[in-house]
Amino acid sequence: MSIHVLEYIKKNYKDQTIEANGVVIARYFAVSDHYKAEAYMEQNLLNIILEGKKMLHTQNGDVEVRAGEAFFLSRGEYVMSEVCEGGNYACLLIFFDEKVMRNWLSPILEKIPLHVKMPNSAIEPFCKIELTPFIKSTALSLLPFIEQKPAFVDTILVLKLQELLLLLLGSAEGAKLVSYFQTLLPRSVDLKVFMEEHFTQNWSISEFARHSGRSLSAFKTEFVSQLKTTPMKWILDKRVERAHFLIEKGGLGIGEAAFRAGFKSQSHFSRLFKARHALTPKNLIDKKSNLTD
């Protein structure tokens, strides 16, 4: 099962959802003892676990998250989300996009001490956070607003979310969040962030350059300088990596995985996969099947 998370939540949990100033907040719960789904992030997501636990299969490995923890996923990320056996699962979901965050994120980041800012840190598309008592109580205080939707809720929720964000940025994992949130501030589009979000698009190199707001020559020059390789090689490597993930963790067939990763030809994908991993996609599926027998 593959879902666009925000679209699914707004459709199926309407009574448990509230939208304010472009931010969507929802209480999500699952009564199934166990399920697994491929999830795509249309927006940045902060997920605060209220009950139960789940396993996230990300491209950087598997991560278990449970009640008392939260995690952040950036827009454009794919994960395999698996609710673990042994109990119900409930969480508070907060979705937000770059345009909304720019309106009130800048003054918050300006107040963060310089020793907390880490502009040279790698951008983190995923971050797990241990909930402090302050973070947990602030998150729980959002629930009555979802259920009752009082007057002036838009203004109140902005203040509550600013409070929650400041507490998160001050947590042990705060520096990683700062590194990512700094990319949301008004400036030219960060090339690596842009490419991470769009590498599956069926665009020519000229179209990638245009959509990123650069001339073709500037795009190529900046790409080699920042990412240390050519645009086409980087794009193909990322597509192979995405398809490998979809086959290994998502159980997709070779053709569907190749298509979702941006390949127009399954044979082209298979050749690149074998060159990179010294085995064919079919060998990977057979190997995975033997491990589960």
If asked whether residues 105 and 248 sit together in one domain, one would say no
| Per-residue confidence band for 283, with pLDDT thresholds at 50, 70 and 90 | confident
pLDDT at 84: 67
- In terms of C-beta density within 10 A (0-12 exposed, 13-18 middle, 19 or more buried), how is residue 3 classed? middle
- Give pLDDT, residue 117: 47
Structural domain including 59 reads: 2-184
Same-domain status, 257 and 118:
no
Q: Please indicate, yes or no, whether residues 160 and 243 belong to a single structural domain of this protein.
A: no
Residue 108: pLDDT over 80: no
pLDDT score for 115: 40
**If you average pLDDT over each of 35-39, 90-94, 207-211, which comes out highest?**
90-94
Residue 114 has pLDDT above 50, yes or no: no
CA distances from 256 to 51, 246, 253, 289 (A): 34, 9, 6, 18
How far lies 54's CA from each of 6, 78, 88, 172, 249, in Å?
Answer: 18, 16, 10, 22, 15
Least confident of 26-35, 38-47, 237-246: 26-35
pLDDT at 119: 46
The tally of domains found in the chain comes to 2
Domain-ending residue, one of 133, 152, 184:
184
Residue 278's pLDDT band (cuts 50, 70, 90): confident
- In terms of domains, do 150 and 209 share one? no
CB 176 within 8 A of CB 124: yes
Q: What CATH number corresponds to the domain at position 15?
A: 2.60.120.810
Whole-number pLDDT of residue 234: 96
CATH code (residue 207) = 1.10.10.60
Residues 101, 39 within the same domain: yes
CB atoms within 10 A of CB 210: 14
**What region does 126 belong to: left with phi over 0, alpha with psi -120 to 50, or beta?**
beta
Cα separation, 15 vs 30, whole angstroms: 15
155, 184, 213 - which closes a domain: 184
- pLDDT value at residue 33: 59
Residue 124 predicted with pLDDT over 50? yes
The identity of residue 133, as a single letter, is P
Same domain? 177 vs 42: yes
pLDDT category, 121, cuts 50, 70, 90? very low
- Among the ranges given (26-30, 178-182, 253-257), the one the predictor scored with the smallest mean pLDDT: 178-182
106 with 36, same domain: the answer is: yes
170 and 206 belong to one structural domain:
no
Give residue 182's pLDDT: 63
- Average pLDDT of the chain? 81
Does residue 120 surpass a pLDDT of 50? no
Q: What's 123's DSSP letter?
A: P
- The answer on 272 and 178 residing in a single domain is no
Q: Is the pLDDT of residue 223 over 90?
A: yes
Lowest mean pLDDT among 81-85, 202-206, 280-284: 81-85
Portion of the chain with pLDDT greater than 90, in percent: 20
Rounded mean pLDDT of 46-70? Answer: 87
Of 1-10, 23-32, 40-49, which range is least confident?
Answer: 1-10
Inform me whether the pLDDT recorded for 78 exceeds 70.
yes
Instruction: Give residue 158's pLDDT.
Output: 80
94 and 168 belong to one structural domain: yes
Q: Are 247 and 254 in contact (CB under 8 A)?
A: yes
Q: Which of 51-60, 100-109, 165-174, 260-269 has the highest mean pLDDT?
A: 260-269
Name the domain boundary from 151, 184, 217. Answer: 184
pLDDT of residue 118: 46
Could you report the per-residue pLDDT of 253-265, keeping only the tens digit for each? Answer: 888 888 999 998 8
**Residue 112 and residue 7 in one domain:** yes
Q: Does 31 share its domain with 84?
A: yes
